[in-house]
Amino acid sequence: MRVNLKTLGCRLNEAETESWGARFQSAGHNIVREIDKTDLFVINTCAVTTEATRKSRQLIRRLHRQNPNAKMVVSGCYASLSPEEAAGILGVDLVVRNTDKELLVDLTHKYLWPEAMPTPATEPGEQALFKRGRQRAFIKVQDGCRYRCSFCIVTVARGPEKSRPIRDIVLQINALHSKGIKEAILTGVHLGGYGSDIGENLNRLIRTVLEQTSIPRIRLGSLEPWELGEGFIELFQDSRLMPHLHLPLQSGCDAVLRRMARRCKISDFKRLVDQARDAVPDINITTDIIVGFPGESDQEWLESLDNIRDIGFGHIHIFTYSPRENTKAAQMPNQIPNQIKRQRSKILHALALDMKQETYRRFQNREFPILWEGNPDECSAEKIFGYTPNFLRVGTDSVADLENSIKPAKIAKIASNGDYLAGQLVD
């Protein structure tokens, strides 16, 4: 089979998709990117917002229109929360819930291609990640979450926490490194809670990975700010642990955070950020913010905006609140009108852009090692892009054999579109 893997949503979804790619490939199938050459689409869906759910349905329908002869397997959070609806979409042949994700490849063989009897590949072939145009590997270290933030549907879709053994994670990273991967990103639904079910913790996982692997870069996925244990910041003294933290704040107002059932106050968040910046001067702090949470008054919104501005972020993922069935927030009074949410979102996007530009200006005329990853389809073929250790996007004139290499560049200026830093390669 020629298998085409599509992912929507979080880094955990991407990690799972990468795992499926490797398993399909080891079973003798080919990973392809061309839609018209696909025999099987595997779609890892998202349902974190109503917009994510809409995009999941839209992608399923679009792929079927473009290649109606291909089989289609749908998994992920949308497929888990609404399996009957997903199964009813034209073109869907099999729905695999999150609880059965580890069996997706086997279930596909069993129900869609029982006559194929795939033969294990005798040659490893090109790494599945590279076949999909990816250079960084997402490593799923745990799944599920013990907390119940009032807006979150993901905990319903993902279930209880389940951590992988450290030994398995180390083996996976070493295997990926041997195949050419230069950066591994540890990810999970509740990454900071890693090991709570197996007597381990995140600090010990990171230390072991640094000690028992030699992959050049280790990066962390999203971390809840209240879960960082004693000694966590000191781990960044190892230069292989990339100086970037994505800490979801969600709101800059304590009253709103209480309604969200978040376990962190603004003062605690600011203290954590200050400690990180003092210990790791180049660290880049990014975050998530939800705009228009139920009951968010004008005063609360302005307070949130002031605190976000005061903290300063290198990047903000901005989500406009949308009610999700079976969450507490959906039943709360004083739902915010869409017009007000759009106005607030526009204001926050402007502030986020200003802070991003300020972050970019801080690092002009500095030299960094860049992991050069490639070129997005929509960009000029004359450019190649990569990331600094602290996750700043850098572009330079395309050079042969630069992709998937770590080579230094000096940051010259902010690109004219403001979306990346223009870098000059250093001999």
Digit-coded pLDDT (tens) for 244-294: 999 999 999 999 999 999 999 999 999 999 999 999 999 999 999 999 999
How far apart, in whole angstroms, are the C-alpha atoms of residue 313 and residue 297?
Answer: 23
> CATH code for 244-362?
3.30.750.200
Whose CA is closest to 224, among 294, 309, 154? Answer: 154
Residue 399 has pLDDT above 80, yes or no: no
2-111: CATH topology is Rossmann fold (3.40.50)
Residue 234 has pLDDT above 60, yes or no: yes
How far apart, in whole angstroms, are the C-alpha atoms of residue 243 and residue 359?
Answer: 14
Digit-coded pLDDT (tens) for 10-63: 889 999 999 999 899 988 899 999 999 999 999 999 998 889 999 999 999 999
Instruction: Quote the pTM value.
Output: 0.86
Q: How far apart, in Å, do the first and last CA atoms of the chain sit? A: 44
Q: Do domains 2-111 and 244-362 have the same CATH topology?
A: no
Tell me the pLDDT band of 127, cut-offs 50, 70 and 90: low
> Mean of the pLDDT values across residues 334-360?
96
135-242: CATH topology is Transcription Regulator spoIIAA (3.30.750)
| Longest Cα separation, the chain | 64
Task: Provide the residue ranges of all domains of the chain, joining segments of one domain with +.
Answer: 2-111, 135-242, 244-362, 367-425
Give 272's strand partners: none
DSSP 8-state secondary structure symbol assigned to residue 250: B
Residue 132 has pLDDT above 60, yes or no: no
Range 367-425 classified under CATH 3.90.640:
no
> Mean of the pLDDT values across residues 109-132?
58
Structure tokens belonging to residue 350: 């402007």
Residue 120 has pLDDT above 50, yes or no: no
Scored b (16 or more CB within 10 A) or e, 29-46 reads: bbbbeeeeebbbbbbbbb
Digit-coded pLDDT (tens) for 60-69: 999 999 999 9
pLDDT at 124: 44
Structure tokens belonging to residue 221: 């996925």
Mean pLDDT of the chain: 91
How far apart, in whole angstroms, are the C-alpha atoms of residue 56 and residue 10?
Answer: 13
Residue 119 has pLDDT above 70, yes or no: no
List CB contacts of 230: < 8 A, sequence separation 6 or more: none
